């Protein structure tokens, strides 16, 4: 509209109208593409903690396909309390992480405990559990503020190279008897 007014008033010669319009069109197209790229990059790398997005995270996460077990609960149980969820998608060289923690009934906690125990390749006691072999290092579980009676179950742990945990993937779960707390934790880095 501004270009049309300037052309009509004679301030812009008609011979520059096409090149000017082309330049402005390319400029706006490039700005739109940059905005779309920026929004896509932000969406692809943003950690979500919105529990309403848990099922979507399960669908898009490569972690649920990486491990030989299908132990992650398909949905957050209706009776779950103190729910904590975090999903950090993989992007380029960045790692991927999927965490779900909640309190449930005593019967449900025991049910999860039996399931985890039947599939575990390693079991540890307490949030300070440590295993070089299965990639459970000091501090791995401290971020979850687990009670001391927590039993940790490693369901799968694979370093990128034998005995080299610089990169790898692991799936672990945990259950606390005192708080009926259940933790699902999958990570690839």
Residue 84 has pLDDT above 90, yes or no: yes
Dihedral class, residue 77 (left if φ above 0, else alpha if ψ from -120 to 50, else beta): beta
CA-based torsion, 88, 90, 94, 95: positive or negative: positive
Residue 42 has pLDDT above 70, yes or no: no
pLDDT tens per residue, range 63-83: 888 776 678 888 999 999 999
pLDDT tens per residue, range 136-170: 887 788 888 899 999 999 999 999 898 888 899 99
Query: Residue 71 phi/psi, 5° resolution?
Result: -90, -25
Q: In what order do the strands lie in the sheet with 181-188?
A: 81-88, 96-103, 181-188, 164-176, 150-161, 122-125
Q: Residue 105's pLDDT band (boundaries 50, 70, 90)?
A: very high
> What percent of the chain has pLDDT above 90?
42
So what's the pLDDT on residue 40? 65
What DSSP string runs through 16-72?
GHHHHHHHHHHHHHHHHHHHHHHHHHHHHH--B--GGGHHHHHHH-SHHHHSS---S
Residue 14 has pLDDT above 80, yes or no: no
Sketch the domain layout of the chain as residue ranges: 2-43, 51-188
Q: Are 167 and 159 in contact (CB under 8 A)?
A: yes
- Specify the higher pLDDT residue, 3 or 105: 105
Q: Are 135 and 170 in contact (CB under 8 A)?
A: yes
> What percent of the chain has pLDDT above 70?
90
pTM of the full structure: 0.77
């Amino acid at each position: 509209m501004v270009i049309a007014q300037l052309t009509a008033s004679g301030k812009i010669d008609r011979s520059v109208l096409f090149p000017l319009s082309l330049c402005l069109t390319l400029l706006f197209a490039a700005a739109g593409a940059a905005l779309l790229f920026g929004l896509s990059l932000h969406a692809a790398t943003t950690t979500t903690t919105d529990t309403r997005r848990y099922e979507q995270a399960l669908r898009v996460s490569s972690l649920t396909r990486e491990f030989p077990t299908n132990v992650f609960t398909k949905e957050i149980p209706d009776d779950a309390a103190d729910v904590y969820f975090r999903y950090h998608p993989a992007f380029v060289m960045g790692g991927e992480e999927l965490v779900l923690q909640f309190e449930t009934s005593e019967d449900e906690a025991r049910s999860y405990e039996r399931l985890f125990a039947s599939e575990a390749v390693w079991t540890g006691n307490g949030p300070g559990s440590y295993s070089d072999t299965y990639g459970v290092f000091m501090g791995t579980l401290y971020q979850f503020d687990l009670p001391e009676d927590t039993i940790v179950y490693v369901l799968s742990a694979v370093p990128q190279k034998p005995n080299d945990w610089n990169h790898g993937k692991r799936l672990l779960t945990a259950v606390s008897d005192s708080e009926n707390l259940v933790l699902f934790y999958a990570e690839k880095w």
